Amino acid sequence: MSLALTVLRRGPEAEQGWSVKAGSLDWDCWETAEHLADDLFSYAAQLGPTAPPLDGYVPFRCARERPGGPRNSVFADRAAGLAGLLQVLEAGAALLAAMVATTSPQVRAYHSRGIADPEGFAAMGVAETLLHAHDMAEGLGLAWTPPADLCDRVLARLFPGAPADGDRWRALLWSTGRADLPDRPRPATWTWASAPEGERTA
């Protein structure tokens, strides 16, 4: 998250400057940041109960601030501007990191793309951060290229069918329908494998 925050801190100070579309998403950059914070929070929450749920998400109330916007439990106070928004993002990342660090690797919890272990939730949190930082950076006109080794670890954990060679960041963008690769059509739909390798059903 620290790498993403360094880039996003170069964005507009005022909330209004984040109203531009986030890359190829239907959300603006502010909404995308809130969605990312919500993802990180919800991944941490899945691991929190003594008996984590295996058939659904922890039932926090979710709402949209506008039709077509993301359904979140977590929202940033817009009056706090960029500093407040990024603090919400950082807090969500810290919650997930703490839960992953203190939860037994044997624990499993529900995710719609497969029952996940703590490592899986960590990988999904990293993927969400890398990809949504890309979406926001694209909308805000900021440069964002995460480290290849980090992209490679995400690909290895979540995208077993991803290209094994070539630029790892480009491969991650391709795997999530955000970029083209030579001789490979961009996926019209995509998913990831959140369950550990030996526990995947498909």
pLDDT band at 165 (very low <50, low <70, confident <90, very high): confident
- pLDDT greater at residue 182 or residue 92: 92
Identity at 31, one-letter amino acid code: E
Amino acid making up residue 57? Y
% of the chain residues with pLDDT over 90: 85
Domains along the chain with CATH numbers? 2-150 (1.20.120.450)
What's the CA gap between 122 and 101, in Å, rounded?
Answer: 10
CB 51 within 8 A of CB 57: no
Whether the pLDDT of residue 78 is over 70: the answer is yes
pLDDT tens for 110-125 read: 999 999 999 999 999 9
pTM value?
0.95
- Please state which of the ranges 9-13, 125-129, 137-141 shows the lowest mean pLDDT: 9-13
Residues comprising the chain, all counted: 202
| Three-class secondary structure assignment of the chain | CHHHHHHHCCCCCCHHHHCCECCCCCCEHHHHHHHHHHHHHHHHHHCCCCCCCCCCCCCCCCECCCCCCCCECCCCCHHHHHHHHHHHHHHHHHHHHHHHHHCCCCCCECCCCCCECHHHHHHHHHHHHHHHHHHHHHHHCCCCCCCHHHHHHHHHHHCCCCCCCCCHHHHHHHHCCCCCECCECCCCCCCCCCCCHHHCCC
pLDDT at position 16 over 90: no
30-77: pLDDT as tens digits: 999 999 999 999 999 999 999 999 999 999 999 999 999 999 999 999
Cα angle 146-126-185, degrees, rounded to a multiple of 5? 70
Q: Which residues pair with 116 in a beta bridge?
A: 109
More confident call, 88 vs 13: 88
Structure tokens of 174?
A: 């391709």
Q: What CA–CA distance (Å, rounded) separates 57 from 59?
A: 6
Distance CA 107, CA 20 (A): 40
